[in-house]
Chain A
Amino acid sequence: MNFIKIFAEHLYVIRYGDQPDELTRIFGNWKNTEYLFDFFKDEHSMLNFFDLSMAEAVSQTTKEAYALQRSIIKTGKNNPKNLSLLFENLDNKEFGEYMLSMQKHKHRWLRIYAIRVDTYTFLITGGAIKTSHEMSEKPHTQEELNKLNKCKAYLNENGVFDLDSFKELLNETL
């Protein structure tokens, strides 16, 4: 896996092999109407819960994607350190204790997953349209969880740990 820069010093993203980096890939999907249409075809329970048609769900998600994009650009350009305010910790019940803080930046259904390497430094590992309470419930979010774990393991092997985040997680589990 390669780590490449978005906003230098504060926001980085993973690129796997020759594929587009994860941020480019997920936004490419979220702004692709046909992709979203195919995605929501299989999400009947979610559509029923919100009483939404497929067309309405696609429209809602597209708007969120553009808003999320705007939010990252605006924050990153004004003061990249403030990107830390856009991310929050994933719920412990989603996956237990970890050395590094798994963070998420979200705007309703859309989730961007990142590892907090330092106070103001984040590494984006992927993203997903969250259609269930817990990541393990659906294959596409479970895959994001697997990516987070693999990245964490790789960072640990290379001497990258985050003691502050570990403390936060400990406090939450006491």
Chain B
Amino acid sequence: MSDNLKNFKKLVSNEVSPWLQEAEEDLANEAWLMRSSHIAIRILDEIHRQKPINGMTQKKLAKQMDVSAQYINKVVKGRENLSLHTITKIENVLGITLIKVPETYSSTTSMVNIKSSNTIISKRRSLAKKTMAYCGESFNTLDKASGSYGN
């Protein structure tokens, strides 16, 4: 071990960061966490839009839903496992749709989904290139260690 590393280790405490455990829990729950985040974005966006029109705020939303302001504050952080009942109440107060389940499945629906996916992929690649240009970086693949895409 180098002197550098020896000196560094003298400065390290015995404490362990809680980050890894929390991150692994997130990994196990990522699918619904992402959905909760999308719902929170939609709620915040709608409150932002309605505020100049009818004075909508998180507090007002909470009052009309008959829940605490603290609960709404948790919801908009995007990490709540929301019940269908809560989602429906939010939808009714804000006049928006947060989740929609297709009633039927057909081959036409799947063709539309494939076309939508290709458009989304194309837009994301374009966005990635713009990100690199904005941050003054070149467009290279990265991350040999984990095999993921990015720079």
Query: Which chain A residues have a beta carbon within 8 Å of chain B's beta carbons?
Result: 2-8, 12-13, 15, 20-21, 23-24, 27, 31-35, 37, 46, 49-50, 52-55, 58-60, 62-63, 66-67, 69-76, 78-79, 82-83, 85-86, 91, 106-109, 117-118, 121, 123, 130, 133, 155, 158-163
| Assembly CA distance A135 to B34 (angstroms) | 29
Q: Say yes or no: is B4 at the interface (Cβ < 8 Å to chain A).
A: yes
- The count of residues in chain B whose C-beta lies closer than 8 Å to any C-beta of chain A is 51
Query: Would you call the interface of chain B mostly helix, strand, loop, or mixed?
Result: helix
| Assembly CA distance A140 to B99 (angstroms) | 35
| Assembly CA distance A7 to B16 (angstroms) | 9
Q: Is the CB of B27 within 8 A of A58?
A: no
**Which residues of B are found within 8 Å of A31, using beta-carbon distances?**
26, 33, 37, 78-79
Q: Is the CB of A133 within 8 A of B146?
A: no
Given contacts A34-B77, A66-B34, A82-B145, contact A50 B134 (CB under 8 A): yes
Q: Interface 1/0s, chain B 131-147, versus A by CB < 8 A?
A: 10011100000011110
Question: Across the two chains, which residue of chain B brings its CB closest to A58?
Answer: B41
Q: Is the CB of A159 within 8 A of B3?
A: yes
